[in-house]
Structure 1
Amino acid sequence: MSAAPGAVPAIAVVGIHGHGAKHVAHVRDLEERGLARLCALVDPRPQVDAPAPATGGAGEPRHGAAATGDDVPWYPTLGDLLSAPEADVRPDVVVLSTPIHTHLPLASTAMRAGVDVLLEKPTTASLAEHAELVAVAQETGRLCQVGFQTFGSHALDVVARAVADGEIGEVTGIGAVGTWVRDAAYWARAPWAGRRRLDGRDVVDGVVTNPLAHAVATALRVAGATRSQDVAEVVVDLHHANDIEADDTSSVRVVTADGTRCGFGLTLCAPERTPARVLVLGTRGRIELEYEHDRIRIVTPTSDLVKTTTRTPLLDDLLAVRAGRARRLACDVRDTGAFMRVMEAVRTAPAPRAIDPDHVSWEGEGDARHPVVDDVAAWCEAVALNARTFTELGAPWAVGAVAPAR
């Protein structure tokens, strides 16, 4: 379904609530600049002021009004949209902001229908599903960009140049620190939130694979690991303070194929949210990348420099590749294989261990209630600096041995 010459690409957003609303707003911005057209919204639930769906004699859903007040067609499923007879709703690109376990079937359906895809992270629920999705992209020749937003940051180029120029000497390791806060409302946001499996399907919604997945993927990218074969070993150490199936406080050690050691200390149970950071450790200094803000700090014995860059939104990048203005996607589905090795280790690991309540304090009330794990920020920092897990470092609330997952 390619756009006619000179026509702006038609974009549909699938999953319009939560984070999906940001995608709708971004497409609207592109539309105002004459760079795209929002052709349809897809979600089982219409936006608040949209009329209830109805079907005609042939079963086609009628159009519903978007919350913006504009007359944007709404469909309950991607299948309904792709089978709609109206030519003006046929997308050139779909943005998929849907639950993790739907990523493979929806992205595959779109690409097989001739549509390019921007797929929210994490890519899929398993490494096998990732391989299947890569095969569909190769089979169809369609573009499949994955929503690791930091891959569009120009800060990555600054970090790469600083390392190549030897500004911090020889790289000795890569780390990531994420100390965030998530409250009770976060875990109640959807039936799949905080679940490892739901209705017999893998979900894998924990700190490593969803909210702080950007920290993991960005650190691996900085380490030069993007494809599955770029990862030699993964060790995960998974814990939770909340009453959930998945992990909310975890450490990961990765050894890349070239021997680089990486340590990721991640929690959603910090006393306060701080900017997530990727660390590049060297023999003569370090680089700190606050990837949420595209901010780089380069510290050496003789200088302490801070730089801030811009980023290219991944949808804009995809449109540039479609139009021939860029050669390759910033985050091609193939370039998420290394991250998927970590996700697979989390998926196949034993269930996360509950943290002893003696090491947890609770703050807030009702939906704002959230746990704080003792000294968790310091332990996350130690993981990043030493590439050792919480258990290996001796965190008092991390109990039991850790086995490598390959």
Structure 2
Amino acid sequence: MTGPLGPSGPRVAVVGIHGHGASHLRNVTRLAGRGQAELVAVADPQGAADLPAGVQVFAGLDELLAATAVDVVVICTPIQTHVPLAELAMRAGADILLEKPPTATLAEFERLSAVVAETGRACQVGFQAQASEATLKLASMIADGHLGELRGISATGKWVRKARYFQRARWSGRRRLDGIDVVDGAVTNPLAHAAAAALLLDGSTGVDDVRTVETELYRANPIESDDTSSVRITTTRGTPILIAVTLCATEHLEASVIVHGSEGRAVLTYQSDLIDGTKYGRADLLENLIAHRADPAVPLYCPLHATGGFTRVVEAVRTAPDPIEIPAELVRWEGDGPERRPVVLEVEDWIDRASDELALFSELGAPWSQSKGKTQ
């Protein structure tokens, strides 16, 4: 690993600066203001405006790398572009911060892992909750037996996504696009942090730490991917991890990861860095990557290999049958145009039951569950 090139810190480029990419751009600008990084270029086919003076703009990463030297590349682009862009950056000698999910398939994960090993570059994945003191504190509590014997972990997400969310890009809400796997969906993208955090709490982040994944995928929206699902992961340690999520809730609530122990339970609200209401801090993934570049003894919070267990979940969703459409009589539609959205009736109650009982929707008899899903 090479350290910063000068007093301004490493030269950083951001690929994909609209949507969520705008937050990465702001973060690099913040670090540049503190002298920890230098924002030298961005790449986005939509172009850019209101950038700091001297920042170059390119349509693609290949053009950017041909024109200017960079040390770190932040990649916040459509899921199906992650691997080719990450490989391009690392082979050019850059370390990367790659948005989640890192890959759409297990084969891509293995390919990208090989590139990391071959190039020796650092690949930090954008699971911010992995850098939360709350997540790490709760993982330590579990390991130390503070909750007694671990009986299971559940993760719940009761979110709202309107039509404009699925209209924002061609790949949104798609399982495949132009013959390429995308695997967008509630479990694998917007609520991916829930599954990843649950696996971290169990100490089961590696690709070989997951024994089986049972999937039940449903949708109320006119999309290809799932928007209401239950997934049960069984880790090689024998821990059941139950994921129950929807993008069709009555109101938008923060996602939670619940640890069920023989001596009690604990609730992690990872978006707010809370354990049972107690607030904790959070490290910044890019700052951590920069510190790791300067001193490889500083570990990454979320290196690529620590997303292997999550990628097993993505692979199970990818190869599962297409999501089952929830019957119209179980859905209430609200709003018009870009604000239009479905509400799955009583979905919050079924999610709570799934979480409490570590059971799939079909095992509970949820009215939209027609059959048990697929086990990988």
User: Shorter-normalised TM-score: what interval?
Assistant: over 0.9
Measured in 1, the distance between the counterparts of 2:296 and 2:237 equals 33
Deviations 1:256-306 (Å, cap 9, x if unpaired)? 001011100010000001110001001121010000000001xxxxxxxx4
- The answer on 1:82 being equivalent to 2:65 is yes
CA contact (8 A) 1:175 1:219 kept: yes
Q: What amino acid is the match of 1:29?
A: R
CA contact (8 A) 1:263 1:385 kept: no
Q: Residue 383 of structure 1 aligns to a residue in which SS?
A: helix
* Greater alpha carbon shift after TM alignment, 67-76 vs 99-108: 67-76
Q: What amino acid is the match of 1:368?
A: E
- The answer on 1:373 being equivalent to 2:374 is no
- The answer on 1:282 being equivalent to 2:282 is no
Q: What amino acid is the match of 2:61?
A: L
What residue number does 1:197 align with?
176
Shift of 1:383: 1.9
Shift of 1:326: 5.1
What residue number does 2:274 align with?
295
Q: Residue 332 of structure 2 aligns to a residue in which SS?
A: strand
* Greater alpha carbon shift after TM alignment, 117-126 vs 391-400: 391-400
CA contact (8 A) 1:152 1:313 kept: yes
What residue number does 1:20 align with?
21
Shift of 1:166: 2.9
Q: What amino acid is the match of 1:74?
A: V
* Greater alpha carbon shift after TM alignment, 70-79 vs 354-363: 70-79
Q: What amino acid is the match of 2:141?
A: A
Deviations 1:175-204 (Å, cap 9, x if unpaired)? 100000000000000000000000010011
Q: Residue 90 of structure 1 aligns to a residue in which SS?
A: coil
Measured in 2, the distance between the counterparts of 1:93 and 1:31 equals 13
Deviations 1:337-374 (Å, cap 9, x if unpaired)? 00000000000011000000100001122211110101
Shift of 1:168: 2.0
Match of 1:132 among 111, 115, 126: 111
* Percentage of matched positions with identical amino acids: 50
Q: How does 1:1-400 map to 2 (within 5 A)?
A: 3-4=4-5, 6-47=7-48, 66-68=49-51, 70-84=53-67, 89-297=68-276, 306-324=277-295, 327-400=298-371
- Unmatched 5+ residue regions in structure 2? none
* Greater alpha carbon shift after TM alignment, 391-400 vs 194-203: 391-400
Deviations 1:137-161 (Å, cap 9, x if unpaired)? 0110000000011011011222123
TM-score (norm 1): 0.90
- Unmatched 5+ residue regions in structure 1? 48-65, 298-305
Measured in 1, the distance between the counterparts of 2:229 and 2:367 equals 14
RMSD across aligned positions (CA): 1.3
The number of equivalent residue pairs is 375
CA contact (8 A) 1:178 1:267 kept: yes
Measured in 1, the distance between the counterparts of 2:178 and 2:256 equals 35
Shift of 1:2: 6.1
Measured in 2, the distance between the counterparts of 1:347 and 1:335 equals 20
